[in-house]
Every structure is written in structure tokens, then in C-alpha cells.
Structure 1
């Protein structure tokens, strides 16, 4: 039987760190929106479509290299065209593994997942600097909805299951830095505060899930199977659910449809996206 992981306190999953100068953030926002970035779609299995990244620092120095790996990061040519952003990164004095811009379009989702499982087992952290966002763009972690507002650095622990969405737009653009633990990071982390406006999502009743599953079945019977799957995946952003529930619902839908191959595919996707031990 699959073991359920205990739910961590919100402060272990997402915190606010250092507040940034508004003028600096505005300059960085302008750079992010106007720089000649080679945006790449990657990690397609994690998203609905509409999520793009480009690298500012990595081991290769190539901005189009966006598949995350361990290594000592160096600036890409893209970062060299973004002086305000480069100055912030240099001023923080952190040990960078990877730094990128991430753009999430309207009506786009990063499905429930964990990160870092494919990397070396060393202590590292993920920092977010929101540069262009809106109130309909939010993170869900531990059954809690958090809008990462601009003007400060946020710290996310992506080894906890989480997902991101941008419902209405405009584009959500964040600077994301993966950093190794060192004294500079620890000094920054001393300023951590729990998000003040976090919203706990309601728990889903059996009736709620049965209603959504029935709606998904109707879509699938009409031939709209991908839409049925996405309807269930989006439950993660509306309800506080036990980890992996949306993937179990989709696998169960395909069992009901008599499609054992699709059932196995979604069972494997759950293990991969949530980094579950075999």
C-alpha cells in the first residue's frame, strides 16, 4: 500500500524573504519583458502548455539550455543583456545552481508535482522573484493557495508536492533561482515570514469528486478525453486533496472506460511527477 506523506507546515513549504527596492523590480520587469529571450517549452509532462523558460545562469552558459541539472552556474548571454537583474544576482552573493526566467501564459497550469528528485542529494533551495503577475496566478502547496506578490524574494521548497496556475492573465513572469545552501543563503533565509494572505482550499467531499468524475466521463464518452483529464487535473487548484488524488481519479476514469494502457500511463505519470518510490 502506498504510504501517505505527512503534510508539512506552510512555513516549511513557502515563505517570503527579503523585500526589494520597487525601482529595481521595475527595471528587472522591463528587462524580462523586452530582452531577446530564446523561450523554450520543456517538461511537457508537467504542464498543460503555456509554460516557457529561458536560462540566465547555468553550467553550459547557453540561454536555450533549460533542462535543470547540477553544476556551477555561469551567466548566459541573455543575462549579460539584463544589467539590473545581473546586479541583483551578484549582490545576493549566493551559490547558484541555475537561474532562469519562467513565463506562464493565461489559462495555463503546471500540474501537481515535485522537483529535484533527479538531482544530486545535496541541500538546495528555490527562490522566486515575481516580475510580472496578476491575482489569478497562484501556487498551491499542501492544500493552500498562495499568490506570490511582487516586490520581494520568495522561497519555495519544491520537494513538497505543488502546482501553479495562471487563470486569467496577463502572463506571469518570475525569475527563479536554484541555489546551494551556504552562509549567504542562510543569512537571507533568516528573514523568512509566512505568507500573510494564504488561503486554505476547501476539502472535497465524496459528492464533489463524484460530480467531477461524472462530468469527466461525459466528456470522454463524447470523444474529448484530454479535456476530461484536464478537468480532473484542475481539481488540485480548487480543493485540498490527498497527494496524487487527481492522478488516481484519471487512472480510475480510464479503468471505467476499459483503457488499461491509459490507466497504466497515468499511474506511471503519478509516480514520476510525485517522485514516488517504486
Structure 2
């Protein structure tokens, strides 16, 4: 499954900022290209695109379908604790099933996630609804492009194909695919055990995997609020809000800073119900597990 890793950047070789990114997202091992190609072919030939779930987290354009869950129905995609079974979709994907078996991991849930062009998953935390700890999320990019990035800890991270990545979803993060084509990842939520710890023993990033986002200046902030305010005055409330939500992918902001910008926009409009709605959204989307 794995190939020899070239020189990589580890936590010991980084400053505090890069170490924070590495703690949240990292490469674990390279994968054989033939394995990726076989899984990619199965995914692209799948009979379903998936379903839209977790709508409050996204702009639209994020579709998921399950390969391992508790019901066997591939359209049951809301994750939860338990011992999963193969879905009917995975039964039709022998190469993907062999790959998952080869990992020897204790799975909680396995999904395919498709993010269309010009789509966003807004800043959020995962696992807030789950009680236990000791879970980890693995990403295997199957189809991607340079504009499809994860944003976390003030940095953009492109999770390149050809590797198995670890994400710490209990930390605030967001995803965007600004130009396309579609980004398709196999996402496995697993429980910590000896097999996982062996797989995750050498987290690393390579040069070029990450890029720091600039700080937002006062002029940047004023310009964004003015742009959003003009849209709101014309009645394009959703467009105004999404203009500010996208700031998370452009600037280094404090946690929840994009939601605070929206609350400030609506406060200036004296739209107090909207202020409260976005304060509640911030608390919900960024809830700690």
C-alpha cells in the first residue's frame, strides 16, 4: 500500500505556526498510484452522486454517500458511533473494499464526499454531537485540483492525491473548491487503536502543502463590510452574508471572525433577528465536542 516517503517537514522542523497546522492536518503515508486509480475509477462510475446533508455547514454543492455505516443504506450519511457494516454501494466497489480492509483499522463511518466547483463548507467543528473521544478522521483524495483547499489555523492546505491524510476535525476548519473540477475524497472516521497509532506515527507536511493567509487589515474589513452592505441594501441578503463568510478563506481571522462580521453587518442594518441568528449559528457550528 505505502511507498517510501521523500524528505518531509515534521513538527520538529517547523515554527509554532506550522506546528499548529501540522497538529490539525498532516500526511501520514503515500499510496500506490495503481490503488488510487482503481478506487477513482469505481467512484467515478458509482450509480449515485450522493445526498446533501449538514446543510447548515455549506453553501451548497457538497454531496456525500456512505461506504460503511450502521444501516447499509449508502444515502444514510449522518455519522454516529457504532460498528458499521458495508453499504450496498461498497459491495459494488471491490478495489475500494480491499483498500479499506488492508488498513486494518477500527472504522466508525466511511463516506465519499464530493465538493463541486464554487462551493464552500463554512468554518465549523465536527464531532460536537458525539460523546466519546479517541476518534480520528482520514482523508484519501481521489479527485482534486489546486483550488480545492482546507483552511485551518490561518493557513490553506491542499490535500494532494496520492497520499493518506489525517484531519483533526474537532478543530475549527473549512473547505472550499473555488474553480473546480469537483473534489472527491474518501473520508474514514476511525477509532484510536494500535493499528491507527502505527499508521499515524509520522505525521508530516511537504514544502508547498500549505500557504499562510494574510492578516485582515482595517481597510480590508471596512471594504468587505461596505461591499456586503451594498448587497444587503439591494435585497441580496444571502449574497451579502456569503461575501463575509468567504473572508475565512482569504484572511487569517480569529475563530468565528467571519460570523462576527455578519453579525456586525446586520447590527448596522438594525436587523436584530439576523444578528441573533448568526450568533446562534456561530455557537452551533463551532461547538466543542
Q: Is TM (by shorter chain) over 0.5?
A: yes
CA–CA separation in structure 1 for the residues paired with 2:76 and 2:191: 20
CA–CA separation in structure 2 for the residues paired with 1:94 and 1:20: 16
Matched, 1:99 2:110: yes
Matched, 1:223 2:235: yes
What SS class does the counterpart of residue 9 from structure 1 fall into?
helix
Contact 1:10 1:194 in 2 (8 A): no
> CA shift at 1:276, angstroms?
5.5
TM-score normalised to structure 1 length: 0.95
Give the total of aligned pairs. Answer: 272
CA–CA separation in structure 2 for the residues paired with 1:68 and 1:152: 24
Deviations 1:242-278 (A, max 9, x none): 100100110111111111111100000000000069x
Tell me which of 154, 166, 181 is aligned to 1:143: 154
Deviations 1:212-270 (A, max 9, x none): 01110011001111000000000000001110010011011111111111110000000
Tell me which of 200, 205, 211 is aligned to 1:199: 211
> CA shift at 1:195, angstroms?
4.2
What SS class does the counterpart of residue 158 from structure 1 fall into?
coil
Partner of 1:253: 265
Matched, 1:239 2:251: yes
Partner of 1:127: 138
What SS class does the counterpart of residue 41 from structure 1 fall into?
coil
Q: Which runs of 4+ in 1 moved over 3 A?
A: none
CA–CA separation in structure 2 for the residues paired with 1:195 and 1:275: 31
CA–CA separation in structure 2 for the residues paired with 1:98 and 1:11: 24
> CA shift at 1:11, angstroms?
1.5
Partner of 1:37: 48
Root mean square deviation, CA, Å? 1.4
Partner of 1:213: 225
